[in-house]
Structure 1
Amino acid sequence: MSKGAVQGPARRRSRRDRASWRERALAEIASLEYALERIKGRRFVATAQRSKLDGVARQLARAREAAADRSTWKAAWYGSDVDATWSNIHQVEVELLQVAPSGELKWWSADVLARVRQHLGAQDPRRRALEERLTSSGQKLLPEFRELAVRALKAANGAEESERARVRSFRNCLFGATLMMTCIAVAFAVWGAAQPGVFDMCFEDARRNERACPTGTALSSWDVLTVEAVGLATAALAGAASLRKIQGTTTPYMVPMSLMLLKLPAGAVAAVIGLLLVRGSVVPGLSDLDTPGQILAWSAIFGAAQEAVTHQVDRRGQEVLDKVRGGGRAFREPAAAT
């Protein structure tokens, strides 16, 4: 068996294991490499310009290395592989625009204008100046506008990277909050199993003269865990229903899934705290729960009640995603929409 035949399946498995954003980045890098080779293949290229093109080739190599590399948890948390990939890609785009032949500038006008409109506000002076120049020249990027286009493209790329960084920061906050709520839920379950009397969730049935607990008629070490399980299941159901309002994202950060994960431990903790409030007669009219079924039913209600808190987090998450303006987003400005 040949060496190529052995490497073929391994290479295909490696490609299947890569995230979708890496495949998109590698496709963009391949397109830029083709554009670079086309410029370098021209007959008359100055020595200084050829040296600059060699530097662009090195940047593309760094971007390809970052996009093709396997990500670690630390790189995923800090976003170093994403930033390394797209920062180099964006810088290569700027460099190619600087060295592109004058005859090819007209092909850059639509791409540069689209990127600028997607990521720079309508009042940005660089965007307004570029739009005015292109309007006066019939949407053609003339050589005398090259420096302005370069500055506008660089600013738009910086804005895009900032949008992606905000999404990553929000995702990290969600993971931190989810971890904290999970630790609290686990602590409640372990503490309740070790000392059931601390989280006494049993109620007195005056008619039958007996106790009603989440798992029967006697205090049990499984009471807290049972209540948390019911609250978690109800929170999962409520969270699945809330996802209908959450749009997807082209960023490599799973914000909708992070929002969903936060609801699960929040529902478990809310169920325990809610029953403790009922047992402490904080909620008028709910101090007497006669059967285990009623106790578990109220656990479900309190588990779903976490939606009142996490709903605000969902709204904030959608606002963060709305500010990420990818290539498929409309050019309509928020002010115009209002």
Structure 2
Amino acid sequence: MRNDSDPGPEENADTISETEHGPWELRQVLLARTNELQALLEDRCRTHGEDRKDLLEKAKGELSSARSVLSHAHRRKRSASHIAVGQIHVDTAHNLLLRLSDPKEIVPMLPGVVASVREALDAEDPRRIAVERISRAPEAITASARESLLDAVSVARQVRIQKALRVRSFVTIVRWVAGCLAIGAAAVALLGWFFSDTVPLCFSPDRVSGADAYHVVCPVRSDPDAASKDLDVSLAATTAPADYVVVEFVGLVAAGIAAAATIRRIGGTAEPYNVPFALALLKLPMGALTAVLGLLLMRGGFVPGLTALDSSAQIISWAIIFGYSQQIFTRLVDTQAKNVLASAGGSGAAGGSTSTRPPKPLTRPA
């Protein structure tokens, strides 16, 4: 038996705020919306009596489900999916409220209905056209027109859900890719630590000049006394287990600077899924790997004239350049993120609005 002093799910949701997953503001907006709809449903219950008791109970059940989903007791993963699921229940309750309303009671809610349909449906969609036609003569709303409004609102809700799921899927893919790249970067660093002589990130400027002894330069150290006529001997004496670790760390820092530089183009997003943060996470392991791969390409002679680095500082400098250059590859992902956010109706990386046409008037012009 539950003790009266024990906190319930809603109380836990308010008192354990430090474990909140997802935007706190969006959660509070939905909880406030459930209270508002609850009051409207109570009003419909008083005005309609027992006529539509079944719909009233179902609408109240949807609001109860929304509050339950938004509570911490139903949180199984560290994600913001509870925000989207709570929005589904709230939208369903709102649809039932519209169905419970008489045509004259729908008129005050008509601007919100039109705005919701315009946000989700294309201008050529027949359901949106029907809603806009009804909005021009709100005084003549019939039971048939109400059904058209309900159908359009239901479809608009489904479209918004699909767009939100697309954003979530994109964020999940980016996070998985970032995680795999991070594991790959860690594996490369470990292999370089234990097998530093296998594929060294070192250069021999004397090899180009044709000197008798080969002086080898590595990212961590450069020992002129270790010069030898045998290049392999010089490499074995100069390489260090920390070569790969240092190069990857420098590349990661450079990628972090690149991610910070892109903040000026990020306008944020109202979606519960943090797309900009996922993109920033992707850049870090990518920078670590591009720093290593870039130096390997230089060491292999892929870039003519840049195979004779003569100091550790030059190697580190090129690692910084290659780490920052991951922006070339992740730019495509940034562009896709803009498209996904724009299709979902959120603010893209450019921070601009997705609407380019002014809304049509709700009433017939004089």
Question: Counterpart in 1 of 2:361?
Answer: none
In the comparison of the two structures, how many residue pairs are matched? 326
CA distance in 2, matches of 1:73, 1:259: 24
Displacement of 1:74 in angstroms is: 3.6
Distance 1:272 1:118, change over 3 A: same
CA distance in 2, matches of 1:57, 1:221: 65
1:67 correspondence with 2:59: no
Distance 1:15 1:32, change over 3 A: farther
Displacement of 1:216 in angstroms is: 0.6
Question: Counterpart in 1 of 2:132?
Answer: 131
CA distance in 2, matches of 1:155, 1:133: 17
1:124 counterpart letter in structure 2: D
Q: Quote the sequence identity (%).
A: 30
Alignment partner of 1:275 out of 274, 280, 295: 295
Displacement of 1:161 in angstroms is: 0.6
CA distance in 1, matches of 2:14, 2:76: 23
Displacement of 1:235 in angstroms is: 0.6
SS at match of 1:212: coil
Determine if contact 1:202/1:214 at 8 Å carries over to the other structure. yes
Determine if contact 1:274/1:299 at 8 Å carries over to the other structure. yes
CA distance in 2, matches of 1:28, 1:185: 46
Question: Counterpart in 1 of 2:266?
Answer: 246
| RMSD between superposed Cα atoms in Å | 2.7
Q: Deviations over 1:258-294 (max 9, x none)?
A: 0001000000000001101111111111110000000
TM-score by length of 2: 0.82
CA distance in 2, matches of 1:220, 1:312: 36
Displacement of 1:331 in angstroms is: 5.0
Determine if contact 2:185/2:285 at 8 Å carries over to the other structure. yes
1:44-193 matches, cutoff 5 A: 44-47=48-51, 49-70=52-73, 72=75, 74=77, 76=79, 79=81, 81-135=82-136, 137=137, 139-140=138-139, 142-144=141-143, 145-193=145-193
Question: Counterpart in 1 of 2:215?
Answer: 210
With 114-123 and 243-252 compared, the bigger mean Cα shift is at: 243-252
Question: Counterpart in 1 of 2:277?
Answer: 257
CA distance in 2, matches of 1:178, 1:226: 20
CA distance in 2, matches of 1:178, 1:97: 44
Determine if contact 2:104/2:141 at 8 Å carries over to the other structure. no
Distance 1:123 1:38, change over 3 A: same
Question: Counterpart in 2 of 1:13?
Answer: 15
Displacement of 1:12 in angstroms is: 5.0
Question: Counterpart in 2 of 1:35?
Answer: 40
Question: Counterpart in 2 of 1:196?
Answer: 196
SS at match of 2:119: helix
CA distance in 1, matches of 2:354, 2:253: 38
Displacement of 1:101 in angstroms is: 3.0
Query: Is there any run of 5+ residues in structure 2 with no aligned partner, and where?
Result: 223-237, 359-366
TM-score by length of 1: 0.89
2:318 counterpart letter in structure 1: W
2:133 counterpart letter in structure 1: E
Query: Is there any run of 5+ residues in structure 1 with no aligned partner, and where?
Result: none
CA distance in 1, matches of 2:107, 2:7: 46
SS at match of 1:203: coil
Determine if contact 2:269/2:346 at 8 Å carries over to the other structure. no
